[in-house]
Structure 1
């Protein structure tokens, strides 16, 4: 190359969901959000609440701020903290690289001081006991004491593939003990409307189950109209 590229590329002015849009997902389980999106939306199950949620109540809702670090790198995450807004969820993309910590208790403490709602990474973390003391909701792929690099290059405020999902800065993140769900920015209002219907249907079905219902299929009707066949 003729010139060395910058070690950081930062986009600060990406579209963000409104406070009302964030609040619409505040108490909604991730499973309901996935149902509202045709059964999809969750990151891979390898990204889970730290310690499987034993010692920290892991629940967070807010806009994604994507830090595309690359393998074993954290420079973009450090820069994301600098431009973050209270309520953001920092998404630290390390391209699925393992055997290195993407963050520790001190970085979690700084994120909490800044008002960050949660931290999600497709890599590992370290200093579990101290992270528990900080109390920041965290989702990661496990624990590892190895140190990352902070030399770049990195991109902040753009998009990255994390846990099998393309996440853009400004997308809605809903995360709980079951996993991390991504709602694309352009679909937020549509999903909010669909979630309301899912909540109603879940409440109706729950009432039926408590009332003694023990099946979801009308097997006799399915046999009668040919959708099911008995072969023995």
Structure 2
């Protein structure tokens, strides 16, 4: 399994505050967790580009669909089911889809919402170039990571550079959470009082947290 697939998106964002985060209005409609390279699609008011992309993409690819803002569905149950059959890693749409109750539960599907009207199918497909998605510029091959907190899309190298520090954060947070569940104080596991005092005095400071000894 790709090591990036096991890391919470929020932890990666703790490591690198510059990671590109997509518009939080784009939300999961099925299972949220996804991890895979971007296969980019422009489908403004039409769905033929999405169907073409499903036919051309490799297993594990995540379709990243720039839908152009039209209140039309870029895909629905049939296309989503075929994408799942072909082993795609997921589909994320900066726009709308339809047939929500028929979407395969195991295929990660993200969108701004649903509408019943489908787009056209008489426009030549546009796939494989840079797209605008959720306020980000996405290039083919960028890594798409998503979970219940949101979507991050970035070059693989930028994300892999976070892995070592992310593992340490996860270890510390798991130990702190265990302490809280045992009845220990989160406040006492931080430097909160000293930190706030320094800030109020105009001194530089950083909030620190440590598990109980």
Same fold (TM over 0.5): yes
The 3 A distance-change label for structure 1 pair 158 and 216 is farther
Do the aligned residues in 1 keep the contact of 2:31 with 2:105 (CA within 8 Å)? no
Do the aligned residues in 1 keep the contact of 2:61 with 2:88 (CA within 8 Å)? yes
Structure 1 residue 76, shift from structure 2 partner: 2.3
Question: Cα deviations across residues 192-221 of structure 1 (Å, max 9, x unaligned)?
Answer: 334334324433543564421226632234
Q: Which residue of 2 aligns with 1:99?
A: 71
User: Is 1:151 paired with 2:122?
Assistant: yes
Structure-to-structure mapping, 1:176-191, within 5 angstroms: 176-191=147-162
User: Please, what TM-score do these two structures have when normalized by structure 2?
Assistant: 0.82
Do the aligned residues in 1 keep the contact of 2:47 with 2:118 (CA within 8 Å)? no
The 3 A distance-change label for structure 1 pair 129 and 85 is same
Equivalent residue for 1:77, pick from 50, 73, 76: 50
Mapped partners of 1:82, 1:220: distance in 2: 60
Mapped partners of 2:70, 2:159: distance in 1: 32
Structure 1 residue 225, shift from structure 2 partner: 5.7
Segments of 5+ residues of structure 2 without an aligned counterpart are: 206-213
Segments of 5+ residues of structure 1 without an aligned counterpart are: 1-19, 51-55
Q: Which has the higher contact order (CA 8 A, sep 6+)?
A: 1
The number of equivalent residue pairs is 199
User: Is 1:128 paired with 2:100?
Assistant: yes
Equivalent residue for 2:23, pick from 44, 52, 73: 44
The 3 A distance-change label for structure 1 pair 67 and 225 is closer
User: Is 1:87 paired with 2:60?
Assistant: yes
User: Please, what TM-score do these two structures have when normalized by structure 1?
Assistant: 0.76
Mapped partners of 1:103, 1:194: distance in 2: 38
Structure 1 residue 103, shift from structure 2 partner: 0.7
The 3 A distance-change label for structure 1 pair 65 and 207 is same
Equivalent residue for 2:35, pick from 61, 82, 85: 61
Question: Cα deviations across residues 141-161 of structure 1 (Å, max 9, x unaligned)?
Answer: 001011111233443222211
Equivalent residue for 1:222, pick from 195, 199, 205: 199
After the TM superposition, which segments of 4 or more aligned residues of structure 1 sit over 4 Å from their partners?
207-210, 224-228
Question: Cα deviations across residues 105-140 of structure 1 (Å, max 9, x unaligned)?
Answer: 000000001001211000111111111x55421100
